[in-house]
Amino acid sequence: MGWISNTLQSLISGIAVGSTYAIVALGFTIIFSSTEVVNFAQGEFVMIGAMISYWLTYDDFGLRWPLYVVVPIAVAVSAVVGLLLGWVLMRPRKDASPISLIIITVGASVLLQGIAGNQWGKDAVPVPPFTAVDPPPLDLGAIFHNGSLFPVSVQSQQLWVMGLMVLLVIGLTLFFNKTMVGKALRAVAVNKHGARLVGINVSRLVMGAFALSAAMGALAGAAIAPISTGNYAMGAMMGLKGFAAAIVGGLGNFTGSIVAGVLLGVLETCGAGFLPPEFAQYKDAFAFIILLLVLFISPNGIFALWRRKKAVRA
């Protein structure tokens, strides 16, 4: 019965990794819906979160701060970087097309990666998990009878990642539906002209959206790095996968981003688990094969088919 165990194991690590893709995808979604800009620096926020967590916890640098101090700092630094990026993008706003702004985000991504490579070197670095103790191996079989049927071990960090994603989604839902600032941000996404007319300072709000998505990315980075290790260039892959998830979910679609992110993570790890070892390095290609398939079948994301039906009915 080893394969059931393996599948469950892959499923859990897939959901954990997918949770970070989902968070990055949400970052893309928040920025895209309020600015029509795809922020290709989104992945770098994940890198910033991971690398600052590493930097401030390992004693090569004489610092050994506890994580409950370090993670908020990493998130705050990333939020400031996001704010700056938003500010830069809002400056030439007058008649800049989204395309030229997207190029600016690509530039910002290269710049941030360069700075990180200089500061922290090119090697993979360890980041400590939030809690040191892992829960005992979960055994579904033991629930039903006495034997050890499908033993699955879960790292505590995986639980952290999933838990953070759930909390973040709840928090964002409340923010966008219950607070005035959240509603104003939705108003900006729906109708910028109307938003200006009711007195919403659109560029300030957009800068806030950048800070928010940067903070989310950094949190995802600090949470996943203990599992995946940190690396100055990890942002590129993270950003691309989050972007794939955002597209598969239908760019600008909140629920779609979450579902597609988790799905992508699961397919990726399960795929890697079933592939013969000599193909293991193709794991990363999985996300993009799925992306291509979705774009062929339903160019507006996996929910577009269903939504079109609903639109006809309405």
Partner 1 sequence: MLKLASVVTAYGNTEVLHGVSLHVRAGEVVALVGANGAGKSTLLNTISGIVPARRGSVLFDGKEIGRAAADRIVRLGLSHVPEGRQLFGPLSVRDNLLLGAYSRGRADTRAHLHDDLEHVLDTFPRLRERLEQRAGTLSGGEQQMLAIARGLMARPKLLLFDEPSMGLAPRVMEEIFRAIGELRHQGLTVLLVEQNARWALRIADRGYVLENGRLVLDGTAEEMLDNREVQRAYLGKGYREVWE
Q: Confirm or reject binding of residue 196 to partner 1 (CB under 8 A).
A: yes
Q: Confirm or reject binding of residue 183 to partner 1 (CB under 8 A).
A: yes
Q: Confirm or reject binding of residue 90 to partner 1 (CB under 8 A).
A: no
Give DSSP secondary structure letters for 1-57. Answer: -HHHHHHHHHHHHHHHHHHHHHHHHHHHHHHHHHHS---TTHHHHHHHHHHHHHHHH
Q: Confirm or reject binding of residue 184 to partner 1 (CB under 8 A).
A: yes
C-alpha pair distances (Å), 274 with each of 26, 71, 94, 129, 270: 29, 35, 51, 28, 6
Can you tell me the distance from the alpha carbon of 142 to that of 137, in angstroms, rounded to the nearest whole number?
Answer: 11
136, 146, 193, 276: residue in contact with partner 1 (rule CB under 8 A)? 193
Closest CA to 261 of 24, 28, 22: 22
**Given the complex with partner 1, which of 71 and 200 has the nearer CB atom?**
200
Instruction: Tell me which stretch binds partner 1 (CB under 8 A): 64-72, 177-185, 258-266, 280-288.
Output: 177-185
Q: Confirm or reject binding of residue 167 to partner 1 (CB under 8 A).
A: no
Q: Confirm or reject binding of residue 100 to partner 1 (CB under 8 A).
A: no
Nearest distance in Å: CB 135, partner 1: 42
Q: Confirm or reject binding of residue 307 to partner 1 (CB under 8 A).
A: no
Residue 226 Cα to chain centre, angstroms: 15
97, 118, 201, 255: residue in contact with partner 1 (rule CB under 8 A)? 201
- Backbone φ and ψ for 151, nearest 5 degrees, come out as -70, 130
Question: Could you tell me if residue 301 is left (phi over 0), alpha (psi between -120 and 50 degrees) or otherwise beta?
Answer: left
Nearest distance in Å: CB 261, partner 1: 23
Can you tell me the distance from the alpha carbon of 104 to that of 100, in angstroms, rounded to the nearest whole number?
Answer: 6
Can you tell me the distance from the alpha carbon of 234 to that of 48, in angstroms, rounded to the nearest whole number?
Answer: 10
Cα dihedral value 248, 306, 182, 159, nearest 10: -60
Q: Confirm or reject binding of residue 311 to partner 1 (CB under 8 A).
A: no
Nearest distance in Å: CB 95, partner 1: 8
Number of residues that bind partner 1 (CB under 8 A): 17
Nearest distance in Å: CB 3, partner 1: 45
Can you tell me the distance from the alpha carbon of 48 to that of 55, in angstroms, rounded to the nearest whole number?
Answer: 10
71, 125, 200, 209: residue in contact with partner 1 (rule CB under 8 A)? 200
Q: Confirm or reject binding of residue 310 to partner 1 (CB under 8 A).
A: no
Q: Confirm or reject binding of residue 22 to partner 1 (CB under 8 A).
A: no
Cβ(125)–Cβ(230) below 8 Å: yes
**Given the complex with partner 1, which of 133 and 311 has the nearer CB atom?**
311
Instruction: Tell me which stretch binds partner 1 (CB under 8 A): 37-45, 189-197, 245-253, 304-312.
Output: 189-197
**Given the complex with partner 1, which of 126 and 194 has the nearer CB atom?**
194
Cβ(45)–Cβ(217) below 8 Å: yes
Contact residues: partner 1, CB under 8 A: 180, 183-184, 186-187, 190-191, 193-202
